[in-house]
Chain A
Amino acid sequence: MTQNIRKMTIAMAAILTTATSAWAMDVEEIVAKANEVSYYQGDDGRAKVNMTITDDQGRERTRAFVILRKDNEPGAGSGEQKFYVFFSRPADVNKTAFLVWKHMDKDDDRWLYLPGLDLVKRIAASDKRSSFVGSNFFYEDVSGRNPDLDTHALVQEDDNYYVLESTPKDKAGVEFASYKSWIHKATFLPIKIDYINDAGEVYRTYEALNVEEVGGYMTVTASKMTDVKAGSSTSMTYSDVAYDMGLEDDIFSERYLRNPPRNLLR
């Protein structure tokens, strides 16, 4: 009996602590911080990315590219950004460059440069939740999803994680009914995200597999996206990560689509 009461007391204390910290840490604040550490570390950044796509029969395909990023409002931790992606592998897309101007209130601007044709092609960006270069990652997973598109609720909390459940404000254009994220308390990095369909099943899972400190920023350097239904997955590793490089704005323009900034891509 005493034991039970003691348990109850501990439970009550835990409840109070949980409740208090939940109030102290507003859910919108958690989401904003998670978004910031995931996509807005430093004013700009660079990483070499290797992707391994494994299909349901275990066949592997690889992608290698360098990604450059610059925030339009340095220090804001949110808002518009520009991305430059330069592919080296597979061989048939070698030297293909991809430019994204990410917007908050309208569709992103996207351009693809095909070196064999010297063609700067503009791409409609209405399909943010479609596969990025044939992988299990979507465009939106790479460049970030605007947190304002979903409503977020703090459903659970433990020593390590804030557990959030997010539902889309507009169901059109998204394939999920909701997603559940485990946000690491100390760093605000999302460590796991389960995407849930209308039937309530987890059909797609993101996992952070390794975290390193780079230039004072905690950075996910290995991650994995699994398509539970299809049985395929993509693992992504980041290397040569750098932040606050002082990238010029014109890197993210047609000039560098046609003539890649080689010194930044080595």
Chain B
Amino acid sequence: MAFSRSVFSLALLSAVLSPAALADGPSLPPGLGGPSLPPGLGDKEAEVTVKEEVSEPAFNITGFIEARAGARLQNAQGYDDWTLGEIRGQLALDGMTDAMTWRVTADAVLDPVLEEYGTDLGRGEGVLDLREAWALFRPSDNMDLKLGRQILTWGTGDLLFINDLFPKDWNAFFIGRDVEYLKAPSDALKLSWYGAKASIDLVVTPQFDPDRSIDGRVLTYFNPMMGETNTIPAAMPIRSENGPEMSARLYGQSGSMEWALYFYNGYWKSPTGFDVIDMEATYPELAVYGASIRLPILGGIGNAEVGYYDSRDEKSGADPFTPNSQWRFLVGFEREIVPNLTGAVQYYVEKTEDYDAYLGALIPGAPKVDEYRQILTLRVTQQMMNQNLTLSGFNFYSPTDEDGYLRLNAAYKVTDALRLEAGGNIFYGESSASFFGQFEDNTNLYVAIRRSF
């Protein structure tokens, strides 16, 4: 009985609430009796979106114009206070034909700090910085061929690179250009083959593209030959290498885990060698064999990567002017800590082979690297105001070198097109000769304004 009564009262309630039961009464206003039907359902015709018959443009144009300036927070003997000052306009054109897709991205740059106005496309200096100029062909259904100037990236590290030996622009990175300028372009051919279980990328760079490393023109560094911090803002003499580079990657996915094997044959990307006769830095020969995995784990993303750096000009480890072979290893983890706040940590270790021979041959006064050089990185990214304000910090800290590098950045999108940015590059260390410590006098702050179109 109790049961039937409750059924009855429930039914009565639903009858009261049901507009159908109130055929004589007023219809409930929208919001009480449920939403009114949208156009397309019920009486109202759908607002049919008519496909616009516009002819496809031959190409798309996008780009930006920006002003960016940065200065040292301390004096660096022999150097100007300004580390960055430029007006940069970028134009990116891309298009598609039946045979290929293509893109050209070029920057026009006015840089009164570097004061290099003769265009050097290889170094990305001068009034024209050609970032991309490539065509992508599809020779068969499971192959892509990308030819020309292109940005190339692979590997799993976050601002730590083991198997990605494509050129980097460390100068741009340290003075506070947009992070995408860390990647310098390669003039290369990239052939990709795609299989069901695994895929292959093969990249051939006919002429070695070194890193755009710190050469002393704008940023000061420790000169191991002089045994002191450089005080003359001039480019160090470096012997260029014109031989080819070859990079390969075999990769695939097993469930949610990505795996890859890597190979590189070419040169050390920064001038780590030295020719005592010609008194110039050199790029010794290098081969790298590596592997990586990346997978979702513990509510975040975990990755591990290893590489063996085979310094092919150095057989015994006893040549002080050629780097020894190394094992490099990193493991990383990233996850969202609370909504809009992401944290990431990495541990990196670099083991020098033939360490006793290295120690025995070390030039007195030259900076000494530990057998197991280690770096810890921490990244924190906070997004606020509907993702229009992004605060980020990235810290490199080496317990073995007792030095580090803190990158800070705040970027605010005033509108979809207008972005304001401020940041800092803070170098610190016990020794003025260690990897990050040598850049201490380059610690800088920068600001930027960018209008995209």
Partner-B contacts on A (CB < 8 A): 7, 10-12, 14-15, 17-19, 53, 55, 59, 61-62, 89-92, 94-95, 101, 106-107, 109, 114, 116-120, 122-127, 130-131, 133-135, 156-161, 163, 182, 184, 186-187, 189, 191-192, 207-213, 218, 220-222, 232, 237-240, 250, 253-255, 259, 262-263, 266
Contact = CB atoms under 8 A, between A and B. Distances in A.
B416 to A, nearest CB: 4
Contacts of B301: 122-124
A134 B416 CA distance: 11
A116 B63 CA distance: 12
B278 interface: no
Given A117-B153, A134-B387, A163-B34, A61 B136 contact: no
Nearest to A187: B41
Give the 7 A-B residue pairs with the shortest CB-CB distance, closest first: A211-B40, A116-B180, A134-B387, A91-B452, A90-B416, A15-B11, A192-B35
Contacts of A15: 11-12, 14-15, 21
Interface of B: 11-12, 14-21, 23-24, 33-35, 37-42, 46-49, 51, 56, 62-64, 92, 94, 96, 101, 136, 144, 146, 150-154, 178-180, 182-183, 192, 194, 199, 251, 256, 258, 294, 296, 299-301, 303, 334-336, 339-340, 342, 386-388, 413, 415-417, 419, 450, 452-453
Given A118-B150, A222-B47, A250 B416 contact: no
Given A158-B19, A259-B136, 8 more contacts: A11-B12, A18-B15, A91-B417, A118-B153, A122-B301, A123-B301, A156-B34, A207-B38
Nearest to A191: B35
A184 B41 CA distance: 9
A204 to B, nearest CB: 14
A212 B40 contact: yes
B153 A250 contact: no
Given A53-B386, A159-B19, A255-B199, A211 B49 contact: no
Nearest to B98: A263
A130 B340 contact: yes
Contacts of A161: 34-35
A49 B258 CA distance: 30
**B136, B150, B342, B386 interface centre (most CB from chain A within 10 Å):** B386
B38 A91 contact: no
B190 to A, nearest CB: 10
Contacts of B182: 117
B296 A125 contact: yes
Contacts of B452: 90-92
A161 B19 CA distance: 11
A134 B152 contact: no
Contacts of A10: 21, 23
Contact of B152 (A101, A118, A208): A118
A207 B35 CA distance: 9
Contact of A209 (B18, B33, B38): B38
A76 B297 CA distance: 29
Nearest to A19: B11
Given A11-B12, A158-B33, A210-B40, A118 B151 contact: yes
Contact of A156 (B18, B146, B199, B300): B18
9 contacts: A11-B12, A94-B62, A118-B150, A134-B388, A182-B35, A207-B38, A212-B47, A250-B194, A254-B251
